[in-house]
């Protein structure tokens, strides 16, 4: 049978997204809202979103920036710190709009300076999250500078995640943006309370993309791209049909001049092709029939949310990607800038 040239899916959700704030947020939000009904919005603003009150205000700013007629629900998260009180976790659950709490190991990535320095300091908060059923979303990398940057996720899985799952057996955990075979295997083997998001860029590229013809700052993100064998393991996990794996773009906009510089920021912008890039991956793996589960069904089932009611249709028509996209007072360079993506949203 020939692969289909058109595919209709239940409207998807993005379970890991950076929207930033102010004019930058207003610039990127329509790209996501055009494709996704909902998104888990990361809390790593400056200062980070650490309270339910701050999450409510951020949510209001997102909704105010949404163009007329666009239908999109931001699913808010809180940023866990060493000092997060257990009571805030209960308030979060009761709020109805906070759907997870993000753990950034201090110093692991963009805007993570206020992150957790020692998980033991979060015991009361983690107990409360387990009790009220609030998922913990993990940036799963160790920050020990003695550990090779390509090994930081694997070492986190071995040294931190295994213990966390053992100590909090009922805590819902999402290992965000997994990049290694070891992470995929750990999640597949764990209980149903453990799941993972996978980005399009980690499914499409290996670490050679960092040095394709020269150093490529727009392919630099954290966790960093890995070897081909890891990319292949991620594609197998995403296309396996397992409900433990779901879509999270980790679209992370940065102004062009902050990437094309001596010490450039980590993060790739993919929201402008947020579902189309995944269609390419699933098509290449001859698994387009599994895209809907990954993009639209597994996430809501894990988070205990209803499925979306609308649909979207993708066609095998190349979509041109602009060389740059307006971003507040600046511009940003999206993934595949100046190139094409093999599928288009119709």
Q: Which stretches of the chain bind ligand NCD, using CB under 6 A?
A: 18, 44, 109-110, 139, 221-222, 250, 252, 266-267
Q: Which does 296 bind (CB under 5 to 8 A by kind): Zn ion, ligand NCD, none?
A: none
Question: Is 174 or 221 the residue whose CB approaches ligand NCD more closely?
Answer: 221
Cα separation, 81 vs 93, whole angstroms? 17
Binding mask 247-286 for Zn ion (x = CB under 5 A): ---x------------------------------------
Give long-range contacts, CB 8 A cutoff, 24+ apart: 283-289.
Answer: 283/3, 283/316, 283/342, 283/343, 285/235, 285/239, 286/3, 287/239, 288/3, 288/4, 288/7
Number of residues that bind Zn ion (CB under 5 A): 1
Q: Which does 59 bind (CB under 5 to 8 A by kind): ligand NCD, Zn ion, none?
A: none
Backbone phi, psi, residue 163, to 5°: -65, -40
For residue 114, the minimal CB distance to Zn ion (Å) is: 15
Binding mask 60-99 for Zn ion (x = CB under 5 A): ----------------------------------------
CB 9 within 8 A of CB 319: no
For residue 134, the minimal CB distance to Zn ion (Å) is: 19
Question: Is 141 or 250 the residue whose CB approaches Zn ion more closely?
Answer: 250
The piece of 123-131, 246-254, 293-301, 329-337 that touches Zn ion (CB under 5 A) is 246-254
Question: Is 205 or 287 the residue whose CB approaches ligand NCD more closely?
Answer: 205
Cα separation, 294 vs 30, whole angstroms? 22
Three-class SS state of 36: coil
Question: Is 12 or 267 the residue whose CB approaches ligand NCD more closely?
Answer: 267
Antiparallel, parallel or unpaired: β 330-332 and 311-315: unpaired
Backbone phi, psi, residue 178, to 5°: -70, 145
Could you confirm whether 13 is annotated as catalytic?
Answer: no
Exposed, middle or buried, 37 (CB in 10 Å: 0-12/13-18/19+)? Answer: buried
Residues in the chain: 346
Instruction: From the candidates 13, 250, 262, 289, give the one annotated as an active-site residue.
Output: 250
For residue 110, the minimal CB distance to ligand NCD (Å) is: 3
Find where tokens 């809501």 sit: 300
Question: Is 187 or 252 the residue whose CB approaches ligand NCD more closely?
Answer: 252
Cα separation, 343 vs 346, whole angstroms? 10
For residue 145, the minimal CB distance to ligand NCD (Å) is: 17
Q: Which does 266 bind (CB under 5 to 8 A by kind): ligand NCD, Zn ion, none?
A: ligand NCD
Question: Is 250 or 283 the residue whose CB approaches Zn ion more closely?
Answer: 250
For residue 315, the minimal CB distance to Zn ion (Å) is: 29
Three-class SS state of 38: strand
What single string gives the DSSP state of each residue in 99-141?
Answer: EEEEE-BTTSSTT-TTSBS-GGGGHHHHHHHHHHTPPEEE---
Q: What is the largest CA-CA distance in the chain?
A: 57
For residue 267, the minimal CB distance to ligand NCD (Å) is: 3
Q: Which does 187 bind (CB under 5 to 8 A by kind): ligand NCD, Zn ion, none?
A: none
Tokens standing for residue 185: 């295997």
Angle (CA) 208-209-212 rounded to 5° is 85
Cite the active site residues: 250
Residues that bind Zn ion (CB under 5 A): 250
């Amino acid at each position: 049978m020939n692969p289909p040239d058109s595919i209709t899916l239940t409207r998807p959700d993005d379970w890991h997204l950076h929207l930033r704030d102010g004019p930058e947020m207003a610039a990127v939000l329509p790209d996501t809202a055009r494709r996704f009904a909902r998104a888990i919005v990361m809390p790593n603003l400056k200062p980070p979103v650490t309270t339910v009150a701050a999450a409510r205000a951020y949510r209001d700013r997102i909704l105010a920036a949404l163009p007329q007629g666009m239908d999109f629900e931001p699913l808010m998260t809180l940023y866990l710190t060493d000092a997060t009180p257990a009571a805030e976790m209960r308030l979060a659950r009761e709020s109805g709009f906070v759907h997870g709490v993000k753990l950034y190991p201090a110093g692991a990535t963009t805007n993570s300076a206020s992150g957790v320095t020692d998980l033991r300091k979060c015991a009361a908060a983690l107990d409360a999250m387990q009790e009220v059923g609030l998922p913990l979303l993990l940036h799963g990398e160790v920050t020990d500078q003695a550990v090779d940057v390509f090994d930081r996720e694997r070492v986190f899985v071995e040294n931190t995640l295994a213990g966390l799952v053992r100590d909090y057996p009922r805590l819902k955990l999402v290992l965000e943006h997994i990049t290694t075979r070891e992470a995929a295997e750990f999640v597949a083997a764990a209980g149903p309370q453990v799941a993972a998001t996978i980005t399009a860029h980690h499914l499409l590229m290996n670490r050679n993309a960092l040095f394709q013809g020269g150093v490529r700052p727009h392919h630099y993100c954290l966790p960093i791209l890995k070897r081909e064998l890891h990319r292949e393991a991620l594609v197998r996990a995403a296309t396996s049909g397992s409900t433990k794996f779901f879509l999270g773009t980790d679209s992370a906009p940065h102004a062009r001049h902050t990437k094309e510089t001596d010490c450039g920021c980590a993060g790739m912008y993919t929201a402008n092709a947020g579902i189309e890039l995944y269609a390419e991956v699933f098509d290449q793996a001859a698994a387009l029939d599994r895209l809907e589960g990954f993009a639209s069904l597994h996430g809501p089932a894990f988070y205990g949310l209803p499925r979306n009611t609308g649909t979207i249709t993708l066609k095998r028509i190349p979509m041109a990607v602009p060389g740059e996209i307006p971003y507040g007072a600046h511009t940003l360079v999206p993934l595949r800038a100046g190139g094409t993506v093999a599928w288009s949203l119709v």
